[in-house]
Amino acid sequence: MANVTISAATDESAVALEAALAPFAPQLIEDADGQWRVAVHVVNGSKLGVVLNAVARHFREQGGAPHVEVDGIRYLLDPHPRNDA
């Protein structure tokens, strides 16, 4: 199991990300400081890659690089896949 939390710059971008992650039952969160996040609880560990790929795809289409937290560890996800041929 993993808890994935993605930071969003605005409430609008959080709502768009929530929609992009709809198949994973995301939760929209606003903290006391007005910071927006979208959280997904991944029950099956093999689905973690699927969730992270969906996040990367969303940011690739929208622009920017997502700040992702997985089980309390922060990562900066590169939305552009490498072409290792």
Q: Which domains does the chain have, with CATH numbers?
A: 2-76 (3.30.70.2030)
36 versus 83: the higher-pLDDT residue is: 36
pTM: 0.84
* Whether residue 85 has pLDDT greater than 70: no
* Whether residue 35 has pLDDT greater than 60: yes
pLDDT (0 to 100) of residue 83:
60
What percent of the chain is modeled with pLDDT above 70? 94
Residues in Cβ contact with 60 at an 8 Å cutoff, skipping those fewer than 6 apart: 79, 80
User: Cα(14)–Cα(82) distance, rounded to whole angstroms?
Assistant: 26
